[in-house]
Amino acid sequence: MDIHEYQAKQILKANGINVPAGKVAYTALEAKNVAREISPRGPWVLKAQIHSGARNNGHFVERKAGKGGGIRIAKTLKDVYDNAAQMLGSTLITSQNKPDGNLVSRIYVEAYTKVEHTFYLSMAIDRTYPAITILAANTETDDIAAIIANSQEKIIRVPLDLKGPTKAHSKRIAEFLHLHTKSFDSFHRFVHGLFKAFIKSEALMVEINPAGIRRNGDIFALDAKITIDNRAVYRHKDISSFRDEDDIPPRELKAARNGFSYHEYNNGNIGCIVNGSGLALAMVGMLKGAAACTLNIKGGVDRDKIAAGIKIIATNPKVEGIVINILGGFVRCDLIADGIIDTAAEVGMNMPLVVRFEGTNRDEACNILEQSNLPLIMAESMDDAIAKVLKAVEESE
C-alpha cells in the first residue's frame, strides 16, 4: 500500500526525523489558510499528493493547471491560492504513473526549507539476501534517475540485519556521500530513525528524495515516500486509516476487495479468468495482444466471491469473449463452476465463454456445467482454450 507524502512525514516525525512544517489542504482557500498558519511569510512549497514519484518533472493534462509540474514554489499567499486552484482537480502525469496519471485531490503545503546539500537515501528489501538494505547517493550534480541510468557505481548499498544500522554503517555511508564530519551524528540519528520507521510500520520501502542538510548540520527529509506491506496493514490501525483508494480504477478496486487481482490491457477484447499470477501472465503472452483484462482469483474458494469476480469481467464493455482457465490445486474447479452459473443467472452471459478445467475436482465441475445448459465451449488444454476463444469471438462478430 502506497501512502501520501504528508502521511509518510507523520510517520517519520513520530520516529525523530526532521521534516519541514506542513499541512494538507483539499481546496485553494484551505491551502491559503494553512500556508498562513505554517509560516507568516513565504516562500511555501505546494506539493501534489498522489501515489507517484517524479512529480516535479511531471505535467498536468488540463490546460487550467498551467505549465508547472506537481511541485511548485509560491512566494505570496496569492500565489499559494492560484497554484492550489490550478493543481487541485487536475491530472498529473509523471514518468512513474504514465500514461494515465493521477487526479490531484489534495495538496501538501510546506514551509520552504533552505538547505546547503542534498542526497538520496532509501531503505528497501533486497530479496536476494533477503535484507533491509540502505541505498544512498549524492545528488549534488545528477538526480537519482540519471544516476540509476548512467552511473550506478555512485550508489552505495548496505544490507542490514534486523538490529538495524550501527554507527559504523552510518559513518561508511556518510563518507560515501561526502558529508561534512560535523553532520555524522545527525546523519546516524537520521538513518536510525528511518530504520525505526521502516520496522514499526512494516514498510517495504522508505525513500527520501531528497534529504537536505541545513547550514547548522541538521538533516531534513524534504520528501518522503513509504510503501507499506499490504499483508501487514491490519496490524497497524493508525496506518490503515492512511489508505486512499481514490486513484485505483473501480474494477481493480472491486477485485481487490474480494481478494483478487485484476489488470487491464489496451486494445484487446478477451477477458481471462485464472487462478495464479504466473498463469495470468502466460495467458496474456499466448493471446498476443488480444487480452482485454485478466482476473486472478488466487486461492479463492468462496462461491459468492468467485461470482463477484466473474461479474467484474463479464460487465467490462471491452470484453467480447471470456476464457476461464483454472488449474485446481487449492482452488476447487467445482466451486468455480458454481460461480459461473450464479453469474450467468444474474447478469446473463451473451458472449462466448470458453472453459478449461484441470486438477482438483475437474470432473465434478465439468458435470455441473454440462447440466446447466449454458452455451459453453469446453477446452482440453491452455492452447486449446486460447484457440477456441479467439475463434468464437471472431465468428460472433
Catalytic residue positions, numbered? 120, 207
Question: To the nearest whole angstrom, how small is the minimum distance from the Cβ of residue 143 to another protein?
Answer: 10
Query: What's the CA gap between 228 and 205, in Å, rounded?
Result: 7
Which residue has cell 499541512? Answer: 23
The 10 Å Cβ neighbour count of residue 340 is 25
Query: What's the CA gap between 357 and 160, in Å, rounded?
Result: 46
3-state SS assignment for residue 288 = coil
Evaluate whether 210 touches 5 at the Cβ level (below 8 Å): no
The 10 Å Cβ neighbour count of residue 85 is 17
Amino acid at 124: A
Question: To the nearest whole angstrom, how small is the minimum distance from the Cβ of residue 298 to another protein?
Answer: 7
3-state SS assignment for residue 159 = strand
Question: To the nearest whole angstrom, how small is the minimum distance from the Cβ of residue 55 to another protein?
Answer: 11
Question: To the nearest whole angstrom, how small is the minimum distance from the Cβ of residue 374 to another protein?
Answer: 24
Q: What is the DSSP string of 318-362?
A: T-SEEEEEEEESSS-HHHHHHHHHHHHHHH---S-EEEEEEETTH
3-state SS assignment for residue 241 = coil
Query: What's the CA gap between 99 and 110, in Å, rounded?
Result: 28
Grid coordinates belonging to 45: 512549497
Question: To the nearest whole angstrom, how small is the minimum distance from the Cβ of residue 111 to another protein?
Answer: 24
Query: What's the CA gap between 70 and 75, in Å, rounded?
Result: 16
Question: To the nearest whole angstrom, how small is the minimum distance from the Cβ of residue 93 to another protein?
Answer: 12
Q: Both ends of the chain: CA-CA distance in Å?
A: 41
Instruction: Look at the alpha carbons of 345, 348, 349, 350 in this order and tell me if their dihedral is positive or negative.
Output: positive
Q: Between 169 and 332, whose beta carbon lies closer to another protein? A: 332
Question: To the nearest whole angstrom, how small is the minimum distance from the Cβ of residue 391 to another protein?
Answer: 17
Give the footprint of another protein on this chain (CB under 8 A). 2, 51-53, 95-98, 120, 122-128, 130-133, 135, 144-145, 148-149, 152, 155, 157, 161-162, 199, 202, 204-205, 207, 209, 225, 227, 229, 231-232, 235, 263, 265, 274-282, 284-286, 298-299, 301, 327-330, 358-360, 362, 381-383
Grid coordinates belonging to 91: 491530472
Q: Phi, psi at residue 125, to the nearest 5°?
A: -95, 120
Q: Between 343 and 361, whose beta carbon lies closer to another protein? A: 361
Question: To the nearest whole angstrom, how small is the minimum distance from the Cβ of residue 105 to another protein?
Answer: 17
CA 338 to chain centre: 33
Instruction: Look at the alpha carbons of 319, 257, 241, 57 in this order and tell me if their dihedral is positive or negative.
Output: negative
Alpha-carbon distance values, 372 to 161, 331, 341 (Å):
57, 21, 7
